[in-house]
Structures are given as C-alpha cells and as structure tokens.
Copies of this chain bind each other. A is one copy, B any other.
Amino acid sequence: MKAEILSTGNEILSGSVTDTNSSWLAVKLLETGIRITRQTCTGDETEGIATAIKEISNRADIVLVTGGLGPTIDDVTAKAAALAAGDKLDLNQKALLSIKAYFEQKSRHMPEINRKQANLPLKSVTMENSCGTAPGFHMEIGKALFFFMPGVPFEMKKMFKTGVVPEIEKRFGVQNQLFSESFTVFGLPEAEVGTRLRGFHEKFSGFRLGFRAAFPLIEVKFSCQGMNTADEKAENAMKQAGQWIFSRLDKRVVSLQGLLMEQEVGRLLSLSKATIAVAESCTGGLIANMLTDVPGSSDYFLLSAVTYSNRAKIEVLGVNQDTIIKNGAVHRETAREMAEGARRIAKADYGISTSGVAGPGGGSDDKPVGTVCIGVAGPGFSKGKQYYFPFIERGMNKKIFAVTALELLRRELIMTL
C-alpha cells in the first residue's frame, strides 16, 4: 500500500512556518502499519494544487492532504480537488449545518464568509470538525483515496483520529499492528546515545530504532511489526529490547513511558503525595509553566516566585542580603537559599531554584552565558550546584536550566520511593 502526504500553504512553501503536520501524520500512519512513500508541499494556487493531486492520484492508494480549507480567498484546496477530479463544487448541506452548529455552540451567528467552507466537491463525503469551522472530506480521485483535512494542527489531529483512521480501517482492514515504545533520556548527546545502542539491530532483527531530539531530552523509540493486534511473541521481544536499551542508558533514562521531564516529576510528586515550590531567576517562569502544563498539577504545585531582581530575591524569598553581596546572584549559596525560601514561604515539601545567565547579554569571564546555579531543598536537606552549558541561545539555555533543575528534583524523589 502506497501512502503520500500533500500539504498546502504559502506559509509552508515560503518557509514562514515549518510543516509539523506532515511528520505527525507520518508517525501516526506508521502506527497503523502504513508507510508514507512521498511528501509534497504546494502553495495556495488552485492550478498548482490540482496538478499535484492529479500526479499523486496515479501513484498512491491513500493520500493525506492538509491545509487550504479555511474561509479566506487564499483557501482553495476544495476547488483544486474538484478541478483534479473533474468534479464541481456545490453547497454541501451537511457541512453547512456543521459550521453553523460550531458557531451556535459558541453563541455566535455564522459570518457570511464561512459559508464558502461548505462548498465541497459533489462526489466528496464530509468528515466532521468538532473543534473548528473547516469541514474535512474524503473522495476518490484516480486510483487513490484522498483525505482533505484542515491545516490547523489540533483540528487536523482530531479529524485524523475520528474521521480518517476509521475510514482507512473500513476500506482496507486493520493493518498489522505496530508495537512501539519510547524512552526519554536526559544528559547524553544524541551521538553518545547512538554509540551506546550500537549492535541493537544485530540483536533484534526486524526492529526499528529511532532517535528524536526534543531538546534537551532525547526520545529513543523502538518498534516492531506484530502479526496481529495481540501478538504475544512481539510483546515479549519488545520487553527484551526495552531491557537491553535500558541496561545501556541506565540512569540517563528519565521515563520508560516516554514522559517529558515535567510529567515524570509530576507523577513522582503525586506518588509521594509531596508538594513543590519554585524560585526562578534566569528560567523566568519556565519551570512553573512546564509544571503547570500538566493537568492536575494544582495538587502538588504551590508557588513559583520569578525573582529577576536582587531586591525580590531578598524581600520575597528571604535570601540573606549578605549572601548576595558576598557571592553575587549567580552562586550556589544564593540558589540554595532561594530554594529554601520558596519551600518555606509556600510551606511546600520541596523547593527548587535557578539563578544563572541565559544570555545573550549579562555574561562575564567568571560567569559566562550558559552558567546556572541550581538549588534543591527538601525535608531535612538543602544544596546548591553550579553547571555550565555551552549554548548561546537564550531559549535553549532557559530550557536546559529548567530541565536540569527538575532532574535534580527527580533524583531526590526516586530515592524516597
């Protein structure tokens, strides 16, 4: 079975936006056992899209198309689909009702401009969009079955699950299941992860092994194709492969479930029934933001004080003024007192803190950009550590500082369990 992806949009073609939809779709389709053989991206021109559709319809069995279903004049994918199929556009009543229902649910009247989104090829079958105005549709063109989805990632993802996958299974049957697991790893460069896992394919033939850098974590993904959806042999092989990989990465593995650092820390805090308070300087709220991205985090997250100024460190967190005068703000002892202060004022079980130089400015010979001091305080202990990371970009530094602070907390938490 040959499957292709066609993404449309001047913003992708011109490079203003990186196309993340295509990689997401390739991964998800592979999970159902179907491999993508080509990806194409065209701009928002009817002729250009129609030409691409026609070419692909001669090659592929399944085609996933994203983008160009919006209400504005540069959204021309439905028109292009009709042109390529020798079909014509017509007002689709079902699509119109669904758009109207979307607005009604928001207690708004449908603007006239959105009516255009219900103009779909006559031969097409609509797919519901429960979180946006653009209805999707599928139709046969040439020898291929085309699925047209909106370009907005969360609308597309929802529609892929509720509209596309069931239709593929209905038409082509359930493919052999892909057994797949991923570990998240922190503290090793990607090349080193690769070196440590050399020999995997010789030992586990038929397996796929992949690495994905989700800075500063690395996701190690391994998979094998089972014979059917409940294949004991494949499950056993997966278990052995997982153990082999774990034995080589050991303490660097953050999560055997592929969780992000903040998800794993949240899971451990919940398990320990412990609470956390944060004092952030250079990470500027990123740690709090990461922790509170996890649903249910209000059970354990009490406070983060983002104290950029020394005065706030002293007055809000109760850091000793002499500590800062003597050592400066970026220092192990300052970080330790910040963590203690956050823990104390929030009456939390644990406190963590960051104070460092994220850049691009603010570095010195002594404390160059990339330097961070991290404090951890818990029941009966507190400590401060200094690290240096060789990045120059502010966003990368904030990220690796935040994840390092959470990693120090994670190590404390697993020792108590």
The answer to whether B43 touches A347 (Cβ under 8 A) is: no
How distant is the Cα of A154 from the Cα of B391 in the complex, in angstroms?
12
Neighbouring B residues of A194 by C-beta, 8 Å: 70-73, 113
Q: Which of A87-95, A159-167, A235-243, A287-295 contacts B (4 or more CB under 8 A)?
A: A287-295
A202 to chain B, nearest CB (A): 11
Q: How far is the CA of A176 from the CA of B278 in the complex (A)?
A: 52
- Can you name the residue of chain B whose Cβ is closest to the Cβ of A13? B36
**How long is the Cα–Cα vector from A415 to B405 in the complex, in angstroms?**
41
A412 at the interface (CB under 8 A from B): no
Cα separation A346 to B313 with both chains bound (whole Å): 10
Nearest B residue to A41 via CB reads B39
Q: Bound complex: CA of A306 vs CA of B307, how far in Å?
A: 11
- Residues of chain B within 8 A (CB-CB) of A284 are 288-289, 291-293, 297, 301
Specify how many copies of this chain sit in the oligomer: 2
Instruction: Find out whether the CB atom of A361 lies under 8 angstroms from the CB atom of B113.
Output: no
Task: Please name all residues of chain B whose beta carbon is closer than 8 Å to the beta carbon of A396 when the two chains form the complex.
Answer: 154
Given A39-B13, A209-B74, A306–B309 Cβ distance below 8 Å? Answer: no
Q: Are B346 and A309 touching (Cβ within 8 A)?
A: yes
**Inter-chain contacts of A209 with B (CB < 8 A):** 74
A73 to chain B, nearest CB (A): 7
B191 and A133 within 8 A (CB): yes
B346 to A295, Cβ gap below 8 A?
A: no
Q: Which listed residue (B40, B74, B306, B394) contacts A305, Cβ 8 A? A: B306
Q: Is the CB of A303 within 8 A of B288?
A: no
Tell me, yes or no, whether A273 is within 8 Å of chain B by CB. Answer: no
CA distance A172 to B159 in the complex (A): 45
Stretch at the interface among A22-30, A226-234, A264-272, A374-382: A22-30
Partner of A286, one of B44, B52, B72, B285: B285
* A99 and B357 alpha carbons, distance in the complex (Å): 27
Question: A18 at interface (Cβ–Cβ under 8 A)?
Answer: yes
Residue pair B39, A14 in contact (C-beta under 8 Å):
no
A379-400 at interface with B (beta carbon < 8 Å): 390, 392-396, 398
**A 107-127 binary contact with B (CB < 8 Å = 1; else 0):** 000011110000000000000
**Is A35 among interface residues, defined by CB-CB distance under 8 A?**
yes
Say yes or no: B18 contacts A20, CB within 8 Å.
yes
Known: A10-B210, A13-B36, A209-B74. A398 touches B303 (CB 8 A): no
Footprint of B on A, CB under 8 Å? 10-20, 22-28, 30, 35-44, 48, 52, 55, 70-74, 105-106, 111-114, 131, 133, 152, 154, 190-195, 198, 201, 208-213, 221, 278, 280, 284-289, 291-293, 295-298, 301-309, 311-312, 315-316, 345-347, 359-362, 390, 392-396, 398
> Besides the contacts A37-B42, A305-B305, what 15 more A-B pairs have beta carbons closer than 8 Å?
A15-B36, A16-B221, A17-B212, A38-B52, A39-B41, A71-B194, A111-B192, A114-B191, A154-B396, A280-B288, A284-B301, A289-B398, A295-B394, A297-B308, A312-B346
